[in-house]
Amino acid sequence: MSTIEPARVYFVPARGADGPDILAAKAGRALAALDFLDVLEAGDFCALKIHFGERNNKGYIKPEWLRTIAAAVRAKTPRAFLTDSNTLYVGPRSNSVEHIRLAWSHGFRPDVLDIPVIIADGLIGRDVQGAAGISGRIGEAKIASAILSADALLALTHVTGHVQTGMGAAIKNLGMGCASRAGKLEQHSVAHPRVQTKSCRDCGVCFDHCPAGAIVQAEGHVTIDDVRCIGCGECLVVCKFGAIRVRWDEDYRRIQEKIAEYALLVRRGFKRKTAFLNFLIGVTKDCDCMAKGEASIVEDIGILASSDPVAVDQASADLILKTAGGRDVFRRGYDIDWSIQLEHGQKIGLGLRRYALTTFNE
């Protein structure tokens, strides 16, 4: 029998109907159960990693739910910031100006939380730091620079289903969410970007920015030479017309394993100064990148907290399936084995699937 102690996970039952003040207090209680605030030092740059929600999405974590947490972190250090990285796909979250404006429109403003918003990979996703990989699928991770420049990381995750990973929770928030655009491309695709010829203006900007000389002139548009392409994603960043797109062809096992490896490379830079809060409120079939409101696939459950991202995700999945009467509501949305990310995360040392749950009374 294993002598390794199970990871600690703390659970505070909660519902969206509780209202923002009660939810803020419950989220604060969940965080206080960990030692994160104890190890946070004055002057630490503390990244509060969150998904601000896509335009028209309703499922994201509401800023009012974070008031107690924000006050507690600010009491330890004035250098806290809310953060996310830019998206691969074209839209209001693909550059930091529109991304910040979207965050403001969803209430993530200084007058609400007194914490600024910083997009971690810069204006158009080029602010990147490398992190040496492990002997797995990732050679060198391409992580948003503001994440690795921080001293502490608090991941605030709205747990949902996901079209490519089955479940999106703390591991995905850490691995995919903290990656630069080039890092997202590496996780999503084993192939290379493609050109949508009808949208190409043949402006030539991508020629100047392709480090591999893989952009090829065709009649009235450009194409990408797959032999030369190194998959850096620069063309995705510089094309202002959305003519260069990602090939979403990564299979679900590889993408989950890559996400877990990225998560490990992000987390190991912080040592003890990490914490993970999962919100099981308004759990939807699709992630918060969907630009629409969706019905919940299970009743509201509560807030989970842990210092272990694998354990908090395993506990989240277990509670969701239990609440659904044993039905795997994630697989009813997309028939994907979402447990691969947990299995691989444990294998590479990201965390433990075995956990001990402490439940607080409402």
- What is the block-wise mean pLDDT of the chain (362 residues), using blocks of 10 residues? 85 97 98 97 97 94 98 98 89 92 97 97 91 82 95 98 92 96 80 86 88 88 87 75 76 90 94 95 92 91 98 98 97 92 97 98 76
The residue from 245, 265, 285 where one domain ends is 245
Number of H helices, E strands in the chain: 14, 16
Residue 9's nearest CA partner among 333, 349, 293, 275 is: 275
In a domain, 334, yes or no: yes
In a domain, 85, yes or no: yes
Task: Kindly state the helix (H) or strand (E) to which residue 188 belongs, with its residue range.
Answer: helix 181-188
In a domain, 338, yes or no: yes
Tally of domains in the chain:
2
In a domain, 1, yes or no: no
Determine the Cα–Cα distance for residues 102 and 173; give it in Å rounded to an integer.
Answer: 18
Residue 149 DSSP SS3: helix
Q: How far is CA 298 from CA 59, 140, 303, 325, 349, in A?
A: 13, 38, 14, 10, 31
Based on the fold, state whether residues 207 and 351 are members of the same structural domain.
no
In a domain, 2, yes or no: no
In a domain, 111, yes or no: yes
Return the exposure string of 58-94: e unless at least 16 CB atoms fall within 10 Å of the residue's CB, then b: ebbbbbebbbbbbebbeebbebbbbbbbbbbbbbbbb
The residue from 206, 223, 245 where one domain ends is 245
Report whether 88 contacts 246 (CB < 8 A).
yes
Based on the fold, state whether residues 83 and 129 are members of the same structural domain.
yes
Based on the fold, state whether residues 240 and 266 are members of the same structural domain.
no
Based on the fold, state whether residues 218 and 136 are members of the same structural domain.
no
Based on the fold, state whether residues 232 and 315 are members of the same structural domain.
no
Based on the fold, state whether residues 284 and 164 are members of the same structural domain.
yes
Based on the fold, state whether residues 168 and 202 are members of the same structural domain.
no
Residue 173's nearest CA partner among 287, 8, 331, 72 is: 287
Based on the fold, state whether residues 326 and 214 are members of the same structural domain.
no
Task: Kindly state the helix (H) or strand (E) to which residue 152 belongs, with its residue range.
Answer: strand 152-158
In a domain, 28, yes or no: yes
Based on the fold, state whether residues 79 and 222 are members of the same structural domain.
no
Report whether 81 contacts 118 (CB < 8 A).
yes
Q: How far is CA 163 from CA 105, 233, 237, in A?
A: 26, 22, 24
Determine the Cα–Cα distance for residues 302 and 305; give it in Å rounded to an integer.
Answer: 10
Domain range for 176 is 7-188+250-359
Give the torsion through C-alpha atoms of 93, 123, 142, 249, to 10 deg.
Answer: 40
In a domain, 254, yes or no: yes
Q: What is the CATH number of the domain that holds 240?
A: 3.30.70.20
- Which ranges of 189-251 does DSSP label H, i.e. alpha helix? 205-209, 234-238
Based on the fold, state whether residues 171 and 198 are members of the same structural domain.
no
Determine the Cα–Cα distance for residues 73 and 253; give it in Å rounded to an integer.
Answer: 36
Based on the fold, state whether residues 57 and 200 are members of the same structural domain.
no
Based on the fold, state whether residues 163 and 199 are members of the same structural domain.
no
Residue 30's nearest CA partner among 295, 275, 351 is: 275
Task: Kindly state the helix (H) or strand (E) to which residue 158 belongs, with its residue range.
Answer: strand 152-158
Residue 68 amino acid letter: T
The residue from 245, 265, 282 where one domain ends is 245
Instruction: Quote the pLDDT of residue 91.
Output: 82
Instruction: Quote the pLDDT of residue 1.
Output: 47
- Which ranges of 40-117 does DSSP label H, i.e. alpha helix? 67-76, 96-105, 110-113
- DSSP symbol at 100: H
Determine the Cα–Cα distance for residues 78 and 86; give it in Å rounded to an integer.
Answer: 25
Q: What is the CATH number of the domain that holds 143?
A: 3.40.50.11440
